[in-house]
Amino acid sequence: MKFPFVAVVLALFLVAGGLVAFKVRWMNYPVLPPAETPLWVVKAEIGFDTGTGPVTLRLAVPPKLQPGLQVTDQVTLLPGYSCQEQLSASDNRQIVWSGRDTVPQRRQLVYRAIVSPRTETVLTTPVRPATPTRLGGLTGEAADRLLQEWREASADDLTQARQLFEDVYEEWPGNLDLQRMAEGLAAVGGPLRSTLAATLTVRLLRQAGWPARSVHGLLLQQDWYDAAPQCWVEIWLREGWQRIGLEADPDGGTKALVLWYDDDDMLTSDGVGNLERIVSVSRLPERSSRPVGDFPGPVPGSLRAGLEHLVDTVSSFSLPPRTQAVYRILLTVPLGALLVIFFRNLIGLQTFGIFMPVLIALAFRETRLLWGIALFLLVITGGVLARFGLMRFKLLMVPRLGAILTLVVLMMFGISLATQKFEMIGGLAVALFPMVVVTMTIERMSIIWEEHGMRRALRQVADSLFCAIMVYLLITNLLVEHLVFFFPELLLVCLALTLLAGRYAGYRLLEIARFKELAKDIGDVEFHS
């Protein structure tokens, strides 16, 4: 290695190490992610067009005290409009904005709340007791038949309620009584606004004489952009509201933030147009408990403040929350590329380029691993068969790639339709696969199949899929995501290792066994000579 190359590599290591040490020692950045996430940020961004008339916006906001959670702070932003907090007709907490613009314009409303944990996991004081009401007519008869079957097969009250929710969820498509109930409720009470299974379960529980209500909220499990509210059921048992249809966390509570109860809407408005709503959930990062700015020795206050400001300015947390969520993923991509380089240049695996395994691994983040592997193999298999079918037309390369791309999109669309029909929600994520990369993979696999045989082509597919799985496991690791987001300068180390791998020209690990016999023969020739 020449001196400039060694100097560049060493400089990258030193700069990265120095920045990390400075952040950890004097800026109190945590090296390890916290065992649990104590704080969450829930943000609603609402865009709308106004005219010259009066405007009113009503947004359902979380109750301040909830099972296992509490809203510790909230901020609203809509300049020029009055804001007040009130209860809806269903006793749900909501914030109402009202005002008028002199000229039509596009406005944006922002609501932001900080959510923290609390020790009580059961809400003993009800927000509004759900008074049991009985249904009459054909709807009531259908409900009574369902309740009779259900009582005969259940044990205690809570187990009965949970079993009822599961039965309604699973049997709804083919159960005539449930269909009759849904039709009757829609005819009597207007369009069903909550999830069908939760609504039917609440009606059945009330028919049986138990106070029950449907609940709409957000699951606090990971960062979500454009999060969709979930729905579950609460029943009044054992002097408190018990949740049904929601998995409990290991601590006994549920990381689920309640937004509103029963059949209210999250957002209603008067006098606006083109209403758009985006709700995001993100974890609020914490630093260590040691005070910031613990500089050794006599450091002037102005210099200390300047250094802190400089580091915080170029940190990931100076970006907007939406952009932070993007870079939590993007900053792990170079590590995935480095892992592919390691498998190709040092181990000797044969992959379809370096970008294909990384991009497929990014798709696996959204589809989850097992669904992602199944969908990837299904699309690749269908694409290769279609490619062989196009061979008889003797197309030029560019039109052939266009035809394959079209067929890939149609296959993905067909898979989404089929999985939706059979309620296999995971199959809908096939749309997240990079279409162009999949198309080029199909083309290259077909060419290798023609020139080198089926075994060589299948091996490269297997190697590429293996690399994609390894990259997925790397970039979804919480420690890795934490380190590259808090210390993006670690990518300089990644760059240095990539440069070192680029200068390696020796045997790959898999080539040792491949050339073992040749080396033995050469050794025998040298010995006899």
Joined together, the tokens standing for residue 130 give 């759900």
What is the per-residue pLDDT for 297? Answer: 44
Q: Are 109 and 46 in contact (CB under 8 A)?
A: yes
Tens-digit pLDDT profile for residues 278-299? 898 877 654 433 334 444 444 4
Percent of the chain with pLDDT over 90: 31
Mean pLDDT of the chain: 80
| pLDDT (0 to 100) of residue 81 | 92
Report whether 83 contacts 97 (CB < 8 A). yes
pLDDT score of 111 more than 60: yes
- What integer pLDDT is reported at residue 149 of this predicted model? 65
What's the pLDDT score for residue 334?
95
Going by pLDDT thresholds of 50, 70 and 90, the confidence category of residue 305 is low
pLDDT band at 252 (very low <50, low <70, confident <90, very high): very low
How much is the pLDDT for 456?
A: 92
- Quote the pLDDT of residue 294: 45
Phi, psi of 244, rounded to the nearest 5 degrees? -130, 140
Q: Give 376's pLDDT tier (boundaries 50, 70, 90).
A: very high
State whether residue 310 is helix, strand or coil: helix
- The span from the first CA to the last CA of the chain, in angstroms, equals 35
The 10s digit of each residue's pLDDT in 26-61 is: 777 888 876 655 688 898 989 999 988 899 999 999
pLDDT digits (tens, 9 = 90+) for 415-468: 988 887 776 766 767 777 888 889 999 999 999 998 999 999 999 999 999 999
pTM above 0.85, yes or no: no
Return d(Cα 222, Cα 479) in angstroms, integer: 14
- The more confident residue out of 231 and 134 is 231
Give me the pLDDT at residue 349, please. 92
DSSP conformational letter for 190 = -
Euclidean distance between CA atoms 481 and 474, whole angstroms: 9
Please state the rounded mean pLDDT for residues 200-211. Answer: 80
Residue 18 confidence (pLDDT) above 60 = yes
Per-residue pLDDT, averaged over 228-245, amounts to 81
pLDDT band for position 109 (cuts 50, 70, 90): very high
Among the residue ranges 218-232, 283-297, 303-317, the one predicted with the least confidence is 283-297
Residue-level length of the chain: 529
Q: Which of 134-143, 194-203, 306-315 has the highest mean pLDDT?
A: 194-203
CA–CA dist 193, 179 (Å, integer): 16
Average pLDDT over residues 319-325: 72
Alpha helices (H) in 34-175, listed in sequence order: 137-152, 157-171
Range in 109-118, 151-160, 184-193, 257-266 with the lowest mean pLDDT: 184-193
Mean pLDDT of 124-140: 55
Two tokens at 85?
């907090």
Asked whether residue 186 carries a pLDDT value surpassing 60, the answer given is no
Rounded to 5 degrees, what angle do the CA atoms 468, 384, 426 make? 50
pLDDT at 13 over 90: yes
Closest by CA to 95, choosing from 62, 133, 48, is 62
Give pLDDT, residue 129. Answer: 52
The region of weakest confidence among 73-82, 221-230, 291-300 is: 291-300
Q: What is the 3-state secondary structure (H, E, C) of 7-64?
A: HHHHHHHHHHHHHHHHHHHHCCCCCCCCCCCCCEEEEEEEEEEECCCEEEEEEECCCC
pLDDT tens by residue, 464-502: 999 999 999 999 998 998 899 989 999 999 999 999 999
The three-state secondary structure class of 147 is helix
What is the distance between the alpha carbons of residues 162 and 245, in angstroms, rounded to a whole number? 7
Which phi-psi region, left, alpha or beta, contains residue 433 (left: φ > 0; alpha: ψ -120 to 50)? beta
Q: What Rg do the C-alpha atoms of the chain give, in angstroms?
A: 30
